[in-house]
């Protein structure tokens, strides 16, 4: 596609529900990142994939958060037993290769509200 696509755009969940957020990166991009952005804050790193390999998951806040990219393209971020503090915008980004200094292309994000 022309850009990074994320779905759903908005998600409302009741506390304790599981949610799944989808990211379609730019075709051919090797690297994929997930970031969490709270209101009024900058994005915070969650996890990084190079193709299907999850090379860094140091930013995942708890074991309730799980990400996968099984075929090296589409990625899913899953949050189990959602809590109110999980409410935020979840941003996906991709970059062309595995070089550290490449620019990131971001999607518009999924705004998650946990009630």
Question: Does residue 93 belong to the site contacting another protein (CB under 8 A)?
Answer: yes
- Residue 1 interacting with another protein (CB under 8 A): no
Nearest alpha-carbon partner for 22 in 96, 113, 92: 92
Q: Is 33 in the site for another protein (CB under 8 A)?
A: yes
| Cβ at position 71, least distance to another protein in Å | 20
Give whichever of 19 and 90 is closer to another protein, judged by the CB atom. 90
> Residue 27, interface with another protein (CB under 8 A)?
no
Bridge partners, residue 31, by sequence: 50, 95
If one asks whether residue 25 binds another protein (CB under 8 A), the answer comes out as: no
Query: If 0-12 CB within 10 Å is exposed, 13-18 middle and 19+ buried, where does residue 37 land?
Result: middle
**16 lies in the site for another protein, by CB under 8 A:** no
Contacts of 82 (CB under 8 A, 6+ apart): 13, 14, 15, 16, 17, 18, 19, 64, 112, 114
Residue owning tokens 């292309």: 105
* Site residues (vs another protein, CB under 8 A): 4, 31, 33, 35, 40-45, 48, 55-56, 58-59, 91, 93, 95, 98-109
């Amino acid at each position: 596609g022309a850009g990074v696509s994320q779905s759903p755009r908005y998600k409302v969940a009741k506390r304790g529900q599981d949610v799944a957020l989808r990211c379609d990166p730019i075709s051919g991009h090797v690297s994929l990142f997930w970031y969490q952005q709270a209101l009024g804050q900058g994005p915070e790193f969650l996890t990084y994939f190079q193709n299907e390999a999850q090379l860094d998951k140091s930013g995942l806040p708890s074991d309730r958060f799980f990400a996968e990219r099984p075929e090296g393209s589409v990625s899913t971020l899953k949050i189990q037993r959602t809590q109110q503090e999980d409410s935020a915008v979840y941003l996906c980004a991709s970059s062309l290769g595995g070089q550290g200094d490449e620019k990131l292309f971001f999607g518009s994000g999924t705004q998650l509200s946990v009630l």
